[in-house]
Chains A and B, each alone.
Chain A
Amino acid sequence: MFDLDKWEEILSSIGKNKLRTFLTAFSVFWGIFMLIILLGAGNGLENGLKNEFSNDAINTIWVYSGMTSMAHNGMKPGRHIQFTNTDIEEIKRTVPGVVHISTQTNIYGQTQVNYKNEQGSFEIRASYPGHRHIEKLEILEGRFINEADIMGFRKVTILSISVKNALFKEEDAIGKYIRINNIPVKVVGVFDDSGGEKGRQQIYLPVTTAQKVFSMQNRIDNFMMTINTTSLEESNAITEKIRAKVAERHNFAIEDQNAVFISNKIKELKKFTNIFDGVNIFIWIIGIGTIIAGIVGVSNIMTIVVKERTKEIGIRKALGATPFSVVSLIVQEAIIITSVAGYFGLVAGVGLLEAVAKNIPPTQFFDRPEVDIMIAVYATILLVVAGTLAGIFPAMKAAQIKPVVALRDE
């Protein structure tokens, strides 16, 4: 099959028919290029949104208070549900499967935090020791809140690395006292949030300490927990148990969807996974459509090429070309053009994705646009084969034409 002379013949024919070559090459190039961009963009979108979930533990349930919307046991609707520390203790005690439970009650209002002359206004959160596992906090120095802090209402705090840098600069923070609304609090730890809240200026206080300092009695705004399962059914069952428990404790109808809002992250993730399965199918449909358009483009051009070359084929046959040599000339030309163009489409598409990945910082919607290189290679091979088949039939027909017909003067 490999015949240097034949390749030279083909290459000279390619080189001397630039427009035809360009048109064929471009439709293949574009098909592959678009397919790669599409698949890459889809993967980027998926990666971005998956990051959102990986920041926190996935097997968590979050409970937020709301307002009743149904009358229940003689109580009017419109009643605000207020959680307390007791809710947390009760849930932990009565609902099996709960591992770590905490709250993330924000301290609102005017809060001044200062160390020596440095001061600032930061997000202050009141939490339990288990919060570290729920938010996947990374402790850089010292420790997180512990049980003794909760029991003893200790005035200790854990700073996010950006708060530490804002207040302490280069100085060591552990063991030093900062003032929150002029109340001295000892820094016992510095943390970093591994994901979405990276760089946020946060301060954690033991929930009991915060309640005392900011006169909140035993109120909390919400609570969240990790559970000992990642199965959707089991997590749904736990969610239902929590709803029942909270409804019983706060005296609202269990079917009242507005009294509390419970978010089961496993279920949310499953929802996203379903969406992404859908998005992927959609991308594949478009991708296959692009490839088909490429195939049709190549077929069209090959048909025209053969028509255009009928006279040339006639001349070649008069000079002694066999039908086989005519078909192989045209088909091999098609193979060379489509595979070279397909390769360039592949390189250009992957190159653009790499450039995007390098130069555009990942966001929560887009990260690491990448493409399975084997899929791209298969798509290229498919286009080459299709282009070849598209060339074979008109070429065979042309090779059967009698030279006298092909050479007939118009």
Chain B
Amino acid sequence: MGDNKLHVLKGIDVHIREGELVSIMGSSGSGKSTLLNILGILDNYDSGEYLLNNTLVKDLSETKAAMYRNQFIGFVFQSFNLVSFKNAMENVALPLYYKGVSRKKRNLMALEYLDKMGLRNWAEHMPNELSGGQKQRVAIARALISQPKVILADEPTGALDSVTSLEVMNILKEVNQQGITVIIVTHEKDISEMTQRVIRLRDGVIEN
């Protein structure tokens, strides 16, 4: 497992304002996932600057990166990435565990967020007992519970049918209306059309 350097992004200059609903589009290999990982402080970048909430995010220690992720960013993944041995409520509550919120309080908050997603009755269910749409709603609740500045969604509808996709997109829109910046990576045109701004990537550069 050598760290082979591969230049995927070849000069990105973009400013996403607070409260925007943006989609990043591009075919596979265009560098959209890499961009998202850098935005999510999940991956490092070689050159340039990334300012998150006016703070320079570069070469952070793991601990610092973890703190920023916990504070500013909520993730939604294509494959949901729920912890399989925790039920819906515990999954939603997990970010608060790393914030140091007591179990009782965070479980209560988790129920509240699940309620917003219409999943209160599913709180005790394990991820493998939930449908794809339900899992993604649990994941969104989990991304929201730490009250982040930004929601980063990597192909949030990639594993869902069109009806459920629409539901999820409506939820993300609602989230955005509450003032949270939402960045969606997708390769589906109708998904990107539901956002305010589309950033098109091709071969590591922004088009037009």
**Which A residues fall within an 8 A CB radius of B?**
5, 8-9, 12-13, 16-17, 311-312, 314-325, 399-400, 402-404, 407, 409
Contact = CB atoms under 8 A, between A and B. Distances in A.
A323 B66 contact: yes
A16 B70 CA distance: 25
A317 B37 CA distance: 13
Contact of B69 (A9, A312, A318): A318
Contacts of A314: 81
The number of chain B residues touching the other chain, given as a range, is 20 to 34
A400 B67 CA distance: 15
B95 interface: yes
A8 B103 contact: yes
9 contacts: A16-B86, A312-B83, A316-B94, A318-B40, A318-B42, A319-B94, A319-B146, A402-B42, A402-B43
Top 9 closest pairs, chain A to chain B, by CB:
A320-B70, A16-B85, A320-B98, A404-B42, A322-B66, A319-B95, A322-B63, A323-B62, A403-B42
A322 B62 contact: yes
Contacts of B103: 5, 8
Given A322-B67, A400-B62, A402-B42, 10 more contacts: A5-B102, A316-B83, A318-B42, A318-B75, A319-B94, A320-B66, A320-B99, A323-B66, A407-B42, A409-B78
Contacts of A322: 62-63, 66-67, 98
Contacts of A315: 81-83, 94
A17 B86 CA distance: 11
B98 A325 contact: yes
Interface string B104-136: 000000000000000000000000000000000
B63 A320 contact: no
Contacts of A318: 40, 42, 69, 75, 81
A13 B40 CA distance: 27
A321 B81 contact: no
A324 B95 CA distance: 16
B77 interface: yes
Nearest to A314: B81
Interface of B: 37, 40, 42-43, 62-63, 66-67, 69-71, 75, 77-79, 81-86, 90, 94-95, 97-99, 102-103, 142, 146
Nearest to B126: A16
A407 B66 contact: no
Contacts of A409: 78-79
B146 to A, nearest CB: 7
Nearest to A399: B62
A319 B42 contact: no
B94 A17 contact: no
B69 A320 contact: yes
A324 B65 CA distance: 13
B63 A319 contact: no
Interface centre among A9, A17, A399 (most CB of B within 10 A): A9
Contacts of A323: 62-63, 66
Nearest to B78: A409
Contact of A321 (B66, B77, B90): B66
Contacts of A13: 85
Contacts of A407: 42, 77, 81
Contacts of A8: 103
B63 A17 contact: no
A394 to B, nearest CB: 15
A20 to B, nearest CB: 10
A325 B70 CA distance: 13
Contacts of B98: 316, 319-322, 325
A321 B97 CA distance: 9
A188 to B, nearest CB: 83
Contact of B66 (A9, A12, A317): A317
A409 B80 CA distance: 11
A407 B76 CA distance: 12
A65 B102 CA distance: 88
Contacts of B62: 322-323, 399-400
B41 to A, nearest CB: 9
A407 B62 CA distance: 16
Contact of B43 (A312, A320, A404): A404
Contacts of B82: 315
Given A5-B97, A8-B103, A402-B42, A319 B78 contact: no
Contacts of B94: 315-316, 319
A166 to B, nearest CB: 73
B37 A404 contact: yes
Contacts of B71: 320
Contacts of A325: 98
Contacts of A321: 66, 98
Contact of B67 (A320, A399, A404): A320
B3 to A, nearest CB: 10
Contacts of B86: 12, 16
B85 A17 contact: yes
